[in-house]
Amino acid sequence: MLIVAALLLFLTGVAHSYLGERYILIRLFKRDNLPELFGGTEFTTGTLRFVWHILTIVWWGIAVLVLQAAGQALQPKFVLEVFSSVSFVSGLFSFFFTRGRHLSWVIFFAVAILLWIAAPGA
C-alpha cells in the first residue's frame, strides 16, 4: 500500500507541474493585467511559477519518505536529509525563477543547511 501511495504522490506531482504549466500558468501569463512588481510582470510570473512547482517538490519529498517507510522504519537522520533536500531544491527554484529577487531562497538555503548539519546527530 505504501509503495502505491508513494507512486501516486510522485505521479500527482508530475501531473500537477506539467498540466499546471500547460493549462494554467502559460494561459495566466498571457493576460495583460498581471501585477507589475519590481518594475514589470517578470517577478510576478517567476514567483507564481516557483510557488506552483514547489508543491510538486514537497509531494516528491513526502513520496520518498513514504517509500522509505514501506521498506523500513524511518530514521530521523533520513527524514532531516529529505527535508533538507526539499528545502534546497525549493531555494533553487526561488532563485532561478525570480533571478534571486524573491528572497525566500535565502531562508530555504538556510533551512537546508541547518537540517543537513543537524542530520548526523539525529
CA distance 59 to 69: 15
Instruction: For residue 15, give its domain range.
Output: 2-121
Domain count, the chain: 1
The model carries a pTM of 0.91
Contacts 24+ apart (CB under 8 A), 1-5: 2/66, 2/67, 2/69, 2/70, 3/67, 3/70, 5/63, 5/66
What are the pLDDT tens digits along the chain (122 aa)?
999 999 999 999 999 999 999 999 999 999 989 998 887 899 999 999 999 999 999 999 999 999 999 998 999 999 999 999 999 999 999 999 999 999 999 999 999 999 999 999 87
